[in-house]
């Protein structure tokens, strides 16, 4: 069954309260969460919309039923292309992050890793079947899941088992006959406060002594022992001049206070190598999602910069054209990288020093190099994009008078007169654009998006590590040696003499 937005909201309304915001307990349907619910709600609203239908509707490989692609496991390159295009289209619609990809990315990663872990454990574990049962319900009930990867991490110079406090990474406290007890805290977890389920996975590569940190599981968002401390990023409310779409976002600290997880909801427990792979694979799927959302944000930024230039009547200036070209270049290169990652997708992962090896039960994994170069390029450009809009707009969004000034009969006409720049543009529309850019750059929400755009999906340094460790630099060195006429035998001779 696919849900409507109303059913999704109703289901959240039935959950127990474990959300805290600004010192107070709040309900899932608190007014403050509504803009966020409306944003994710779009993914339910357009299920039959001819513009979205072909991208969002997909056949489940488990049941053959038509499900929402946000709950799907990719099974061919077309799935990967459609995931990328669907993400771009949704983000264009809401003007920012669509917020439903984390659960899908975590599900795809766990689907593969749980299979490999069972294989190595020679049938002693049941992680993959456990996960498939969870996935079936996820698909059939059309659920929203948060992807909870990032641990608080305490002292960055120490690995999980070396931390003074073991709770700095979510870990297994006790293994019991019927399940495990986990403790710790995941932070920055987007949309956990509006998710039906929380998919919890490790954050980083793990050593044998970190085995208790190699844990993956799912619990409902309101589960016993889980406390969510939520930050809610809403725009300043408008009374007189509403926006066309009002997005909202939330992020949670998820505190796990000795939480019991039954075995059927555990997908990894103690296999340190697989814990590291799961962390990397989630990062990979999530960076592939970024190849849809970042180009959409690029589309919005480009449109905003072009409108600001038009409304300032400087659209023909050569520096404006150059800056628009720069925005388009990053946007489309980010998309092209994702497109290539989709096209080269296969049921394989790249192992440094070995190359591509078959991985998982046959579902498709996007190409790692292209996911990482695309996300790194677009992630590093978020502040440059903000700089370009700041440059083209001038100072007006920063000091733009508040709404009520534009309805005060004493001086509103004067204000409209003094904000007129392009005679072809109605000052009322110009005012809407400057308010919109103010939301984008001069609000608390705008700042959060910049940090999220930079670090979300992994900081650029993480992508740089993935790129440089997986790229075949030796092959490039060999190309140059051949062209330059370098003979490695001479080096060898020199070493032999020493």
Ligand X SMILES: Cc1cc2nc3c(=O)[nH]c(=O)nc-3n(C[C@H](O)[C@H](O)[C@H](O)COP(=O)(O)OP(=O)(O)OC[C@H]3O[C@@H](n4cnc5c(N)ncnc54)[C@H](O)[C@@H]3O)c2cc1C
Q: Which stretch in 30-38, 127-135, 299-307, 457-465 sits in contact with ligand X by CB under 6 A?
A: 457-465
Q: Which of 71, 149, 193, 250 binds ligand X (CB under 6 A)?
A: 149
Q: Which of 167, 347, 459, 471 binds ligand X (CB under 6 A)?
A: 459
Percentages of the chain per state (helix, strand, coil), in multiples of 5: 55, 15, 30
Q: Which stretch in 182-190, 293-301, 361-369, 393-401 sits in contact with ligand X by CB under 6 A?
A: 182-190
Residue with smaller CB distance to ligand X, 41 or 456: 456
Q: What angle do CA 345, 350, 351 make, to 5 degrees?
A: 170
Q: Which stretch in 51-59, 110-118, 141-149, 486-494 sits in contact with ligand X by CB under 6 A?
A: 141-149
Label residue 77 exposed, middle or buried (CB < 10 Å: 0-12, 13-18, 19+).
middle
Please report whether residue 455 would count as binding ligand X according to CB under 6 A: yes
Minimal distance in Å, beta carbon 150 to ligand X?
Answer: 4
Phi–psi pair at 266, nearest 5 degrees:
-105, 130
Structure tokens at 327: 């925005």
Please report whether residue 156 would count as binding ligand X according to CB under 6 A: yes
Angle, to 10 degrees, between the axis of helix 444-455 and the axis of helix 382-393? 140
Residue with smaller CB distance to ligand X, 120 or 465: 465
Cβ proximity of 43 and 68 under 8 Å: yes
Minimal distance in Å, beta carbon 125 to ligand X?
Answer: 24
Cβ proximity of 16 and 22 under 8 Å: no
450's enclosing H/E stretch is: helix 444-455
Minimal distance in Å, beta carbon 97 to ligand X?
Answer: 9
Label residue 76 exposed, middle or buried (CB < 10 Å: 0-12, 13-18, 19+).
middle
Give the CB-side neighbour count of residue 170, counting CA atoms within 13 A.
Answer: 33
Please report whether residue 188 would count as binding ligand X according to CB under 6 A: yes
Minimal distance in Å, beta carbon 428 to ligand X?
Answer: 33
Residue with smaller CB distance to ligand X, 171 or 188: 188
Please report whether residue 66 would count as binding ligand X according to CB under 6 A: no
8-state DSSP, 394: T
Q: Which of 448, 450, 464, 467 binds ligand X (CB under 6 A)?
A: 448
Sign of the alpha-carbon dihedral angle for 82, 83, 87, 88: negative
Phi–psi pair at 64, nearest 5 degrees:
80, 0
Q: Which stretch in 25-33, 187-195, 403-411, 419-427 sits in contact with ligand X by CB under 6 A?
A: 187-195
Please report whether residue 207 would count as binding ligand X according to CB under 6 A: no
Residue with smaller CB distance to ligand X, 149 or 381: 149
# chain residues binding ligand X, by CB under 6 A: 20
Please report whether residue 193 would count as binding ligand X according to CB under 6 A: no
Of all residues in this chain, which one has the CB nearest to ligand X in the complex? Answer: 452
User: Where do the H-state alpha helices sit in 121-262?
Assistant: 127-140
Kindly give, in sequence order, each residue whose CB lies less than 8 Å from that of residue 69, ignoring residues fewer than 6 positions away: 55, 56, 57, 58, 79, 82, 83, 86, 104
Rounded CA-CA distance 277/2 in Å is 32
Q: Which of 5, 89, 153, 207 binds ligand X (CB under 6 A)?
A: 153
Rounded CA-CA distance 444/234 in Å is 8
Residue with smaller CB distance to ligand X, 97 or 183: 97
User: Where do the H-state alpha helices sit in 185-271?
Assistant: none
Please report whether residue 216 would count as binding ligand X according to CB under 6 A: no
Minimal distance in Å, beta carbon 302 to ligand X?
Answer: 22
Please report whether residue 102 would count as binding ligand X according to CB under 6 A: yes
Count the residues in the chain.
498
Q: Which of 95, 103, 397, 456 binds ligand X (CB under 6 A)?
A: 456
Please report whether residue 132 would count as binding ligand X according to CB under 6 A: no
Q: Which stretch in 24-32, 56-64, 184-192, 307-315 sits in contact with ligand X by CB under 6 A?
A: 184-192
190's enclosing H/E stretch is: strand 179-190
Return the closest-CA partner of residue 219 out of 15, 2, 1: 15
Please report whether residue 150 would count as binding ligand X according to CB under 6 A: yes
Residue with smaller CB distance to ligand X, 426 or 451: 451
Sites of contact with ligand X (CB under 6 A): 102, 147-150, 153, 156-157, 188-190, 251, 448, 451-452, 455-456, 458-459, 461
């Amino acid at each position: 069954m696919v849900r409507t937005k109303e059913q999704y909201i109703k289901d959240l309304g039935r959950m127990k309260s474990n959300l805290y915001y600004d010192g107070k307990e709040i309900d899932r349907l608190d007014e403050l969460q509504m803009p966020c619910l409306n944003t994710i709600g779009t993914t339910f609203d357009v299920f039959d919309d001819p513009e979205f239908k072909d991208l969002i509707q997909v056949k489940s490989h488990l049941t053959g039923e038509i499900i929402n692609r946000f709950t799907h496991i990719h099974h061919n390159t077309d799935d990967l292309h459609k995931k990328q295009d669907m993400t771009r289209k949704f983000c264009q619609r809401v003007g920012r992050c669509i917020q439903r990809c984390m659960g899908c990315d975590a599900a795809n990663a766990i689907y593969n890793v749980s299979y490999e872990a069972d294989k190595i454990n020679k049938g002693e574990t049941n992680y993959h079947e456990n996960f498939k049962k969870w996935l079936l319900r996820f698909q059939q009930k059309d659920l929203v899941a948060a992807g909870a990867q990032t641990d608080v991490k305490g002292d960055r110079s120490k690995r999980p088992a070396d931390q003074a406090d073991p709770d700095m990474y979510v870990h297994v406290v006790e293994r019991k006959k019927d399940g495990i007890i986990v403790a710790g805290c995941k932070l920055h977890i987007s949309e956990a406060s509006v998710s039906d389920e929380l998919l919890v996975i490790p954050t980083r590569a793990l050593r044998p002594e970190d085995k208790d940190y190699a844990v993956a599981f799912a619990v409902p968002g309101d589960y016993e022992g889980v406390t969510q401390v939520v930050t809610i990023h809403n725009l300043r409310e408008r009374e007189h001049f509403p926006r066309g779409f009002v997005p909202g976002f939330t992020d949670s600290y998820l505190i796990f206070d000795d939480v019991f997880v039954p075995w059927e909801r555990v997908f990894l427990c103690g296999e340190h190598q697989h814990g590291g792979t799961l962390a990397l694979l989630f990062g990979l799927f999530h960076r592939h999602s970024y190849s849809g959302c970042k180009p959409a944000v690029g589309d919005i930024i480009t449109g905003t910069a072009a409108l600001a230039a038009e409304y300032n009547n400087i659209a023909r200036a050569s520096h404006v054209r150059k800056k628009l070209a720069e925005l388009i270049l990053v946007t489309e290169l980010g998309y092209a990288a994702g497109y290539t990652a989709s096209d080269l997708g296969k049921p394989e992962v790249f192992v440094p020093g070995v190359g591509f090896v078959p991985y998982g039960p046959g579902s498709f994994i996007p190409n790692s190099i292209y996911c990482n170069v695309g996300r790194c390029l677009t992630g590093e450009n978020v502040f440059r994009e903000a700089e370009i809009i700041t440059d083209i707009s001038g100072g007006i969004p920063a000091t733009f008078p508040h709404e009520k000034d534009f309805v005060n009969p004493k001086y509103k006409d004067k204000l409209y007169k003094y904000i007129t720049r392009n005679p072809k543009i109605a000052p009322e529309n110009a005012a809407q654009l400057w308010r919109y850019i103010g939301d984008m750059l001069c609000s608390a929400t705008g700042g959060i998006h910049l940090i999220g755009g930079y670090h979300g999906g992994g900081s650029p340094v993480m992508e740089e590590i993935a790129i440089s460790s997986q790229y075949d630099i030796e092959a490039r060195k060999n190309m140059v040696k051949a062209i330059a006429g370098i003979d490695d035998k001479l080096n060898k001779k020199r070493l032999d003499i020493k």
